[in-house]
Amino acid sequence: MIEVNNGMIPECFVNENVKSFFDTATFEDILIVQKEKKEDSSIKDFIKAIQYYRENDTFLE
């Protein structure tokens, strides 16, 4: 992993203009909150929760 101005990314992506949009703790919290909200969350549910957080800077309720 290599540190860039907006977080950490795998070194192999440095020359690919890849950016991180969440730190690891935030990403983990999004998944935890979604799992607590709906125990049998599908991949689509998790993606929706991630997109919602990215757009609204808060957890999907």
Nearby residues of 53 by Cβ (< 8 Å), 6 or more positions away:
22, 26, 30, 59, 60
Mind listing the pLDDT tens digit for each residue in 38-50?
A: 999 999 999 999 9
Give the helix ranges, DSSP H, for 1-61. Answer: 24-37, 43-56
Confidence of residue 25 (pLDDT cuts 50, 70, 90): confident
Q: Does the pLDDT value for residue 33 go beyond 80? A: yes
The domain ranges of the chain are 2-56
**Could you give the C-alpha distances from 18 to 23, 26, 31, in angstroms and in order?**
14, 18, 22
